[in-house]
Amino acid sequence: MSTNSSPQSVLFPTILIHGVGLLGGSVARAARKSGACNRVIGVGRKQDKLDQAQALGIIDVGYTELADLQQESIDLVVICTPVDRIAWDVDDLAEHLTKPAIITDVGSTKQNVLDMLSTELPPHLVFVGSHPLAGSEKQGFENSLADLFEDRVTVVTPSESTPEPAIQLVEQFWARLGSRVARMTPHDHDEAVARTSHLPHLAASALALCVGEKLHHLTGSGFRDTTRIAAGDPGIWTAILQENRKAVVSSIDEFTSALTIIRDLIASADRENIEQFLTQAQHSRNKLNETRQPE
Amino acid sequence: MSTNSSPQSVLFPTILIHGVGLLGGSVARAARKSGACNRVIGVGRKQDKLDQAQALGIIDVGYTELADLQQESIDLVVICTPVDRIAWDVDDLAEHLTKPAIITDVGSTKQNVLDMLSTELPPHLVFVGSHPLAGSEKQGFENSLADLFEDRVTVVTPSESTPEPAIQLVEQFWARLGSRVARMTPHDHDEAVARTSHLPHLAASALALCVGEKLHHLTGSGFRDTTRIAAGDPGIWTAILQENRKAVVSSIDEFTSALTIIRDLIASADRENIEQFLTQAQHSRNKLNETRQPE
């Protein structure tokens, strides 16, 4: 037997998934499959949904009331609710978790959660933010996948006061689920994903709006690819854009500046600099192909 | 035997492909396969390339000198050179084609060709512009495909003075190659593709430039899809953008206006109207899925 096949230790015996949807269900499945936990508790709004998730083996038990958690010994909480709910959910949980636990999340924006936490957490609880860059256009735990985080990057975003051991445990958790882990400050994370994720969504949406239905027969695969993410859920995206308002606005300003540069080059028929602009963009896009790991 | 299997008549006994690359080679293969022609002549800059295309069965004979065409009887010319070459090539051909022929092209911009034609064509020649919305990221006749135009739209763009029979023959040619044919004025075509094709290319390029290499590890499939076409050939795209300058500039202005609207909504935390903007974009993008034929 290879030494690689020796079982790895359980990181968090019992984990709580708050919000058992596509992401929450996938965390549950991946944590169980990887042996990162022994037991998964789900919290959600609807008991019948939790019962279905339990029947599918995604969770071991499901509660709709946080008060019921007081009978449980929970080691890690993963909050998988929308980004504008996370801080509220952390505050609520703090009132019901009586034993030491680490709390993390899967939200797409990070600084806002810290800003919104109404009070300091009690000393037996530590919050360490996470953002796995993984998702699906499908929704619901029915579509959750045990390998959703494999070969994806998960950003872990401690604040200056987060204890190092708690950070490392959360990093080990995501690594066990197959992620490549990157540590960033919440601010740097938000600035980065404004550009890599939120801005592309807005560009795709604005493009979709600029090309009305009567021009659809004249579109090709380029337009279809460029606008694909505009089909994303408006409610989820409104929350993300709101929560990361400042960085998103500055990324739009940067984008429109780049567009204004190429617009003026085209208007003034500056062939040489048009080609240079496109060549730099091509170079940057080709670098992306070179550096990415397969997904 | 079904009546559908009876062979269709030859539309143009001999066709000339000017520029035997990916598109030219694909027109040649598709025309031969569909029985739209009997014989394919190639014109190009390099005899060794033409000899290779001949060896592959893509063309029957290849010339580097237009003067050699005087011994040939040509029924249809398809110009497959870059958009800023097409008008020059039509003018040059007019001096060497001595028998009646129709000339078309595959260029991505249409009004510029008409504007640049230096003189009226001699009465035995008729120019009818075409733009098959088909392509590939690959280049060269080695990668040409007989089915490249199947289920794709080809826009045919006659001017007001183009004789109707010539228009219909060109439309029949593209239909025989498997295209769905749309007839538009050159101006309307250019306005449309500025939005459906040229603007997405610029949006993808500007996005690629806004996200530097050090952020590439934080990108996901959304960014990759949205920027894919930025990898296109800068030389070809510089020519296209130049030739369709006016419509492209106005499409950029429309796009930045849409971006400014959503920027201001986000900056002012207008949640309701952010969601409405995203919902309209989602609706438009979903319509694209509904209305497109499979490719």
Q: From B155, B153, B133, B146, select the one nearest B293 (Cα to Cα).
A: B153
Which two three-digit tokens encode residue B92? 């040059």
Worst-scoring range by mean pLDDT, A218-222, B4-8, B210-214? B4-8
- How much is the ipTM here? 0.87
The Cα of B109 is separated from the nearest Cα of chain A by a number of Å equal to 13
Q: Which residues of chain A lie closer than 8 angstroms to B212, CB-CB?
A: 284
Question: Has residue A3 got a pLDDT over 70?
Answer: no
> Residue B118: its pLDDT value, please?
65
Query: Dmax of chain A from CA atoms?
Result: 72
Touching check for A77 and chain B: CB below 8 Å? no
Whole-prediction pTM: 0.86
Q: Which residues of chain B lie closer than 8 angstroms to A204, CB-CB?
A: 222, 226, 281, 285
Q: Which amino acid does the sequence have at A63?
A: Y
The Cα of A73 is separated from the nearest Cα of chain B by a number of Å equal to 35
**Cβ pair A277:B217 closer than 8 A:** no
pLDDT digits (tens, 9 = 90+) for A231-271: 999 999 999 999 999 999 999 999 999 999 999 999 999 99
Rounded Cα distance, A27 and A147, in Å: 9
* Contact map slice: B 263-292 vs A, CB within 8 A: 263, 266-267, 269, 271, 274-275, 277-282, 284-289, 291-292
DSSP A109-160: --HHHHHH--SPPPTTEEE-EEEE----S--SGGG--TTTTTT-EEEEE--T
The Cα of A136 is separated from the nearest Cα of chain B by a number of Å equal to 10
Which two three-digit tokens encode residue B121? 């064509």
Q: What is the mean pLDDT of residues B268-288?
A: 97
Q: Do domains B3-184 and B189-291 have the same CATH topology?
A: no
Q: From B73, B80, B82, select the one nearest B30 (Cα to Cα).
A: B80
Touching check for B193 and chain A: CB below 8 Å? yes
With cut-offs at 50, 70 and 90, classify the pLDDT of residue B268.
Answer: very high
Please state whether beta strands A76-79 and A61-63 pair in parallel, antiparallel, or not at all (unpaired).
unpaired
Q: What is the mean pLDDT of residues B88-96?
A: 94
Superfamily grouping for domain B189-291: 6-phosphogluconate dehydrogenase C-terminal like domain (1.10.3660.10)
pLDDT digits (tens, 9 = 90+) for B219-228: 988 999 999 9
* Contact map slice: A 208-237 vs B, CB within 8 A: 208-213, 215-235, 237
For B216, which of A224, A256, A291 is closest by C-beta distance?
A291
Question: Has residue B245 got a pLDDT over 90?
Answer: yes
Which of helix, strand or coil describes residue B268?
A: coil
Which two three-digit tokens encode residue A236? 């989820």
Query: Dmax of chain B from CA atoms?
Result: 72
Give the whole-number percent of chain B exceeding pLDDT 90. 88
Q: What is the mean pLDDT of residues A46-73?
A: 96
Q: What distance lies between CA B277 and its chain's CA centroid?
A: 32
pLDDT digits (tens, 9 = 90+) for A204-240: 999 999 998 999 999 988 999 999 999 999 999 999 9
Touching check for A138 and chain B: CB below 8 Å? no
**φ and ψ of B79, to 5 deg:** -85, 120
If residue B130 lies in a helix (H) or strand (E), which one and from where to where? strand B129-132
Q: From B38, B43, B35, select the one nearest B17 (Cα to Cα).
A: B43
Q: What is the mean pLDDT of residues B115-142?
A: 89
> Residue A7: its pLDDT value, please?
62
Which two three-digit tokens encode residue A280? 């730099």
Rounded Cα distance, B127 and B109, in Å: 15
Rounded Cα distance, B291 and B71, in Å: 48
If residue A103 lies in a helix (H) or strand (E), which one and from where to where? strand A101-105
Which two three-digit tokens encode residue B20? 């035997």
Mean pLDDT in chain B? 93
Order across the sheet with B180-183: list the strands. Answer: B129-132, B153-157, B180-183
**Cβ pair A278:B155 closer than 8 A:** no
**Is B118 buried (19+), middle (13-18) or exposed (0-12) by CB count in 10 A?**
exposed
Which of helix, strand or coil describes residue A63?
A: strand
> Residue B60: its pLDDT value, please?
98
Q: Which residues of chain B lie closer than 8 angstroms to A154, CB-CB?
A: none
**Cβ pair B234:A134 closer than 8 A:** no
Question: Which architecture characterizes domain A11-184 according to CATH?
Answer: 3-Layer(aba) Sandwich (3.40)
Select from B191, B207, B250, B264 the residue whose CB has the most chain A CBs within 10 Å, as the one to mutate to test that interface.
B207
Q: How many Cα atoms occupy the beta-carbon half-sphere of A7 within 13 Å?
A: 8
Q: At what angle do helices B245-267 and B234-243 cross, to 10 degrees?
A: 100
* Nearest chain A residue to B236, by CA: A275
- In total, the C-beta contacts within 8 angstroms joining chain A to chain B are 287
With cut-offs at 50, 70 and 90, classify the pLDDT of residue B2.
Answer: very low
Q: Which residues of chain A lie closer than 8 angstroms to B219, CB-CB?
A: 133, 196-197, 288, 292
What residue spans define the domains of chain A?
11-184, 189-291
Residues 6+ apart with CB under 8 A from B246: none
Which of helix, strand or coil describes residue B186?
A: helix
Rounded Cα distance, A81 and A20, in Å: 8
The Cα of A150 is separated from the nearest Cα of chain B by a number of Å equal to 13
Residues in chain A: 295
Q: From B118, B123, B87, select the one nearest B105 (Cα to Cα).
A: B87
Superfamily grouping for domain B3-184: NAD(P)-binding Rossmann-like Domain (3.40.50.720)
**Cβ pair B207:A203 closer than 8 A:** yes
Residue B3's CB is within 10 A of a number of other CB atoms, namely 5
